[in-house]
Structure 1
Amino acid sequence: MSETAYLPTTPHELTARGWDQLDVILVTGDSYIDSPFIGAAVIGRVLEAAGYRVGIVAQPDPANPQDIARLGEPALFWGVTAGSVDSLVANYTANKKKRRDDDYTPGGQNNRRPDRASIVYANWIRRAFKNTRPIVLGGIEASLRRVAHYDYWDNTLRRSLLFDAKADYLLYGLAESSVLELAAHLRSGADPSAVRGLCYIAAQKPEGALELPSFEQVSTDKLAFIEMFHSFYQNNDPITARRLAQRHGNRWLVHNPPAPYLTQPQMDAVFALPFQRGQHPHYQAQGPVRALETIRFSISTHRGCYGECNFCAIAVHEGRTVHWRSEDSILAEAAALTALPGFKGILQDVGGPTANMYGFECDKKVTKGPCPDRRCLYPVVCSALRPNHSKQTRLLRRLRELPGVRKVFVASGIRYDLILKDRQFGRAYLKEIVEHHVSGQMKVAPEHTQAHVLQKMGKPGPQSLLDFKAQFDALSREVKKEQYLTYYLIAAYPGCSEADMLALRQFTSQQLQTHPEQVQIFTPTPSTYASLMYYTEMDPFTRQPLFVEKDPQRKERQKQIVLEKAPLPPARKPSAARGSGRK
C-alpha cells in the first residue's frame, strides 16, 4: 500500500505533497493504523475531509523525545491522545504488574507507550516548541480523566488531566463534530469556549454553570466525591446536560455540555472516509500490530450503550443513547472489505459496544434524554425500551448474501436479557446467530452470579442467564450444531468476597455445567461507578459501607477459586480491615 494513501507521518511524505506546514498534527500512543476503529485515524480523516492538512506522529520515540517534532509545528493545533486504551491500563495488569505485550505496537512489545502518555506527550511538545500552538487532548484517556477522578495506579484522586498536562483544551467523547468546530474557531481566531464537547481552564466560573464540589473538597471528603460523580454522570447527555465547573485551586475547570450525537447521514459519511484498513508502511516495517487481526475485517454498526454497567466507561465516553448507521452504509463497507488484499471471505465481527443494540432505542430518550431516576436495563429491561431485533437480523442476512462473503461472525458482546425481552423477534434473532454467526463458542458476559454482587455491577440476575442458556442449547440442537457458551467473569469486584467466588464456581459447575477459563480481576478505571465504590468503600447509591478487596494476593486468590480445578479449602470471610486495605 502506498504511503500517499495514508495521512503523512514522515517529513518525506510532506515533501512529496509539496507541503511546508500542516494545520493539525495528531500525536498518538498507538502505531498509525488507518481504521474506523482507531480514534486518531478517524479524527485525522474527518479533518482531512474538511480541507485541513493533517499529519500523525505515532508512538514518538521514548528514547528521543525530539521525534515528536519530526513534522514541524502545526498552524492550528496539536491533537494529543494516549491511544485506543488508557496508557496505564495498557501498561499494567489489574495487580499493577507491567505488561509485556501491546496489541497496538509494532512487534507487540510494550516499549513505546509511556505511562500517562497524554501528559508526557504534551511536555515533549512544549520542550520542542516554546510557546507553541494550542495543545488539545482527546481519546479515551483524556475523556475519562476530564474531571477530578480516582486514579488506581496512584491510589489517590487526581486533578483534571487538563491541569496535569498543562494543555489548552480537551475534547471528550467521540469528538468528530467538536474537533471540526474547534478547528474552525482556531482558524478564524474566534473564541472556542462555547464549543460543545470541550473542556478548558478559566479564571472565573462561567455564569449559569453547575458547580461541582472542588478538587480540594473531593480529595478530603469521600461523600463530596460521590456527590461530584453523580452530578458529572447525570450531565453527560447532549439533550439534558448543563455546563459544569469545578474549582482546582484558584482556577476553574469548565466542562461544556456534550456535542450532539451524529445523525445517521453524518455517521455514514464518517465510515465512508478513505480508511486504508492497514498499518502505515513506515510502521509496518517495524513489525505487525496484533490489533489489526481483529479489526481489519470487522464492521462497527452503531455507537453508545444503554447497558450502563457500573464497571464500564462507555456511558461517559460514547453516551447512553444508541445511534446506528444505515444498512446501505454497512453493506457498502462490507463490499469494500471483500476487495481488500488478504480478505478470505470472513467478516470477523459485526457489532458495537453491545452487538444487539442495533436499530432500536427508547423514543422518549431520543427526544428528551435519559431518565434521571431509572436505567434502561437494570434492574429489569424498561417497558419503554421495546427491544426489536428484526433490523439486525435482516442486516446479518443481507451481509451473508454479499458476493465474496462466506461467513459473518458476531463477536461483540450480546445482552441476553434484551433477547429474552423481545418476545416477537428475539428468538428468530438468536436462531440466526446460532445457525450462521457463531464458531463453536458464543461469548457472553454475566460477570458474576451472586445477586448482591450483580446489584453492584448493575447487571441482571442469574435466572436470565439460565433462561438464555436453555434457549441457546435448544436452538443449537435444532440446527444440529455442537456449540457452547463461554462466560466472562470478574473477580475482586467491590462487594465480592472469596465466599462469593466459591458460590460462583459452584453455580457455573452445577447450573451451567462448565468450568470457566476467562476470569479477570477487576481494574478500577477512571470515571466509573465501580471505581467510585472501590475508592470510597461505599455503595454510592445508598452511602452504606461496602467490602472491597484491595490486597493483590487475595484478589488473585478470588480469581483462582474459579479457575482452579482441584478442591479448594473453605473461603475466608472478609473483614473490615482487610477490605479497606489497612493492616
Structure 2
Amino acid sequence: MFLPINQKDLKKLGINQLDIIFVTGDCYIDSPYCGVALLGKYLYKNGFTVGIVSQPRLDTDEDIMKLGTPRLFWGVTAGSVDSMVANYTPLRKKRKEDDFTPGGINNKRPDRATIAYVNLIKRYDRFKKPIIIGGIEASLRRVAHYDYWDDKIRKSILFDSKADILVYGMGEITLLELTKRLANNEDFRDIRGICYIDKTPKEDFILLPSFDEVSSDKDRFIDMFNLFYENNDPITAKGLCQKHIDRFLIHNPPQRILTQKELDEIYELEFEHDIPPELKKLGKVKALDTIKFSITINRGCYGECNFCAITVHQGATVVSRSKRSIINEIKKISKLKNFDGIIRDIGGPTANMYEIECTKKLKSGKCKDKRCLFPNPCKSLKIDHSPLISLLEEIRRVPSIKKAFVASGIRYDMVLNDKENGGRYLEDLIVHHTSGQLKIAPEHIDPNLLRLMGKPPLSDLKRFIEDFYKICRKNRLKYFLTYYFIAAHPGCGTKEMEKLKNYISENIRIKPEQVQIFTPLPSTYSSVVYWTEKDPFTGEKVFVEKDLRKKKLQKEIITV
C-alpha cells in the first residue's frame, strides 16, 4: 500500500482528514530508504493516518493543500540530502540533475527546502496546525552552524524556519511519542531528540555560547561545537541551550538507541519499493535503480570521519538488524516485479560494522577522550567479522538470489585489525560480493591531512592493497580497487595534491576518476576547520583553500 498522495487516495481509504501530512523535497519513494515513507508507515502501524506531499510548487496552494489540513501536525523535510548539497556542486554551481526527482532534472527542490516548505504551509494553512521539521537538513542545522553557501554562521534552522518543533536524528521513537502527546494535548517538552524555542534557558542544561558570540568570535564557535559534539551520545549527553537574540533554543538530550527488535520491526513494515503510479508518469526516478533492491543491515557509524555528517545524524553507536529480519526482507524483495536476482547493496553507513560494537559504550556511553577507530582501533572494540561472514553466507544460499553486492563503503582498517576473521571476510567480499571492483575511500595519503580528516594511516592502505591483490591472484580474478579521494580539504594545498599524484603514479598506477572537491557540511568538524582556519583539537593554524578556481585546480592535478 502506498500512503495517500491525493484526494482520490483519501476517498478510496475512507479518510476525511489525515492525522499527519509529511512534506518532502524528494519524490515519494515507498521504501525504507525514504524517511517520510518509513516514518509514515511506522506511524500508520501505530494507529495514525498519514499522507505525503512531495516536491510541492511554491507559487500556488494546489500542491501543498491537496490533502487538506492535518488534524495533528505537518512534518517537513528537505529530503534525503541537504537541499543546498543537492542543488549545488562544491564549486557552488547549480546541479543540473537530481536523482530523487522524476525525470532527473533538478527543478523541483528549492534552496533551503525546509525553510521554503514551512513558509509555504504558513501562507496557506488557515488553521495554523503545528509544523515539525526533521530529516538530515534540519538535524545538521539544529544549532548555530557554519553555512558554506552563505559563508557565514546561520541561526538554528528552527529560528530561520519559524517551525514549532525540530526532531533530530533517526526519529522513529521521538516522532511516535510526540504524535501521541499532541493527540492527547499533553506537554511534549521533555521528549528526548527534539528542539524547541523558549523565552528562558532550561535549568541543568548546558548553556552554549550564544548565536551572537559564535557569529563574531571563531574561537567561541569552536568552543560551542566541541560542547555540541560531546553531547550527542544518548547515555552521557546533557541537554543544551543556546541564546538567539532574545530567545533560547532548547536542545533536549538525544533519543535512546533503538534495540535490535525495534530496528527489525521498522524494516519489516510493508513497502512497495516503488513510486506511486501518478508520480511515475512524471518520469524515471534514478535513485530507485539502486535503493529498490538494496538492504540496510545496520545503522550508525563509529568511524567519525571529520568531514562526514553521519555521526551527528545517525549517532556513533551501531545497531544491527537480526539475520532473520534481513533474510526475510531479501525474500520479500525477490518477489517484487522486475527483480532480476541481484541485490544492489548489502550495507549501511559502513558496510562492515555489522554486529560489531563496544560493550563498554553500550553500557556507559561513548568515550569523550578518544574515538573507536582513530588514530587506531581501540582495544575495547572487539572487531570480529564472523557475524557478517555468516550473514553473507546465508544470503548466498537464498535460492532466488544470483548475486548480492556490497556497494556501501568498508573500513579497511577494521578488516586489517581483525586478525582472526578479517582475511576470510575480505576473501568472501571479493569472490562473492563485488562486480569486479571494490570501492575504498583512503581520501588522501598525506599524514597531516589524514589526521585532520580522522582517517587511517597510509600504512593501512598499503597493507590492504597487498591483501586485496593477493586474494585476487589466489582466486585467479582480474579484479581491481576503485579509490575515492578528496581535494581541497582543510590543510590541503597544491603541494599535498602533487604528493598524492606522485604516490598514485608510482604505487597505484591508475588515473583516479572518483575525486571530489571538499564540501563543508553543516555540523562537521571539517566545516569548523574550514570556517575558523584552526585545528579545533590543538588550536593550531590550518591552511584552507577558499578560492574556487584553485579548488578546481587541486582536483585537476590528479584527474587531468
TM norm. shorter chain > 0.5:
yes
How far apart in 2 are the matches of 1:53 and 1:258? 26
Q: Could you give the per-residue CA deviations for residues 43-62 of structure 1, whole angstroms, max 9, x where no partner exists?
A: 11111010101000011124
Q: Which of these residues, 263, 266, 269, is aligned with residue 270 of structure 1?
A: 266
Q: Distance in 2 between matches of 1:485 and 1:238?
A: 37
1:383: which partner in 2? 379
Alignment-derived partner of residue 499 in structure 1: 495
> AA paired with 1:109?
I
1:355-406 CA-to-partner distances (Å, cap 9, x unmatched) read 0000111110111111100011111111111210001011011001101101
> Secondary structure of the equivalent of 1:356?
coil
Give 1:131 deviation, angstroms.
Answer: 5.0
Q: Secondary structure at the match of 1:354?
A: coil
CA drift of 1:148 comes to 0.2
User: 1:134-283 maps to which residues of 2 (within 5 A)?
Assistant: 134-283=130-279
For 2:510 and 2:385, the matched residues in 1 are separated by 29
Give the equivalent residue in structure 1 for 2:20: 24
Q: Using the TM superposition, give the Cα deviation of residue 130 of structure 1 relative to its aligned residue in structure 2, in angstroms.
A: 3.2
Give 1:399's match in structure 2, choosing from 395, 399, 420.
Answer: 395
After superposing on structure 2, the runs of 4+ consecutive aligned residues of structure 1 that deviate more than 4 Å are none
Do the aligned residues in 2 keep the contact of 1:381 with 1:421 (CA within 8 Å)? yes
Equivalent of 1:68, from 57, 64, 76? Answer: 64
Q: Distance in 2 between matches of 1:280 and 1:549?
A: 45
Aligned to 1:567: none
Q: One-letter code of the match for 1:341?
A: K
Structure 1 counterpart of 2:413, one-letter code: D
Q: Which residue of 2 aligns with 1:473?
A: 469
Q: Is the 8 A contact 2:114 2:161 kept in 1?
A: yes
CA contact (8 A) 2:69 2:127 kept: no
Any idea what the Cα deviations from partners look like across 1:522-557, whole Å, max 9, x if unmatched? 001100000000000111111111100000000000
User: 1:21-170 residue pairs with structure 2 within 5 A?
Assistant: 21-130=17-126, 132-170=128-166
Matched, 1:291 2:267: no
| Alignment of 1:517 onto 2:513 | yes
Q: How many Å separate the matches in 1 of 2:103 and 2:59?
A: 18
2:234 is paired with a residue whose SS is coil
SS at structure 1 position matched to 2:352: helix
- Describe the superposition over 1:396-449 as per-residue Cα deviations: whole angstroms up to 9, x where unpaired: 110011011010101100100000000000000001011111111110000001
Does the 8 Å contact 2:58/2:120 carry over to 1? no
Between the aligned partners of 1:436 and 1:116, the Cα distance in structure 2 is 42
How far does the alpha carbon of each residue in 1:297-330 deviate from its partner, in whole angstroms, 9 at most, with x for none? Answer: 0000000000000000111100001010000000
| Alpha-carbon distance between aligned partners in 1 of 2:88 and 2:278, rounded to the nearest angstrom | 27
Residue equivalent to 1:417: 413
Partner amino acid for 2:6?
Answer: T
Q: Distance in 2 between matches of 1:461 and 1:169?
A: 42
Q: Percent identity?
A: 52
The aligned residue for residue 581 of structure 1 is: none
Shift of 1:63: 4.2
Total equivalences in the alignment:
560
Instruction: Look up the SS of the partner of 2:166 in the other structure.
Output: strand
The DSSP-based 3-state class of the residue aligned with 1:260 is coil
The answer to whether 1:537 aligns with 2:539 is no
**Separation (CA, whole Å) in 1 of partners of 2:469 and 2:125:** 62
Q: CA deviation at 1:17?
A: 1.3
5+ residue gaps in structure 1? 565-583
Q: Distance in 2 between matches of 1:435 and 1:155?
A: 46
Aligned-residue CA RMSD (Å)? 0.7
Residue in 2 that maps onto 1:8:
4
Show the counterpart of 1:573. Answer: none
- Alpha-carbon distance in 2 for matches of 1:69, 1:206: 36
Which letter does structure 1 place at the counterpart of 2:423?
Answer: R
**What 5-or-longer segments of structure 2 have no aligned partner?**
none
Query: Who is 2:339 aligned against?
Result: 343
Cα deviation, residue 232, structure 1? 0.3
Q: 2-side partners of 1:559 and 1:401: how far apart?
A: 43
Shift of 1:64: 2.6
1:97, distance to aligned residue in structure 2 (A): 0.2
Find out whether 1:549 has 2:545 as its counterpart: yes
Correspondence for 2:485 = 489
**One-letter amino acid matched to 1:516:** P
Partner SS state of residue 79, structure 1: strand
Is the Cα contact below 8 Å between 2:306 and 2:524 reproduced in 1?
A: yes
Structure 2 distance, partners of 1:66, 1:215, is 37
Q: What residue identity is the alignment partner of 2:109? A: R
Cα shift readout 1:230-268 (whole Å, capped 9, x = no counterpart): 000010111001010000011000000111111011000
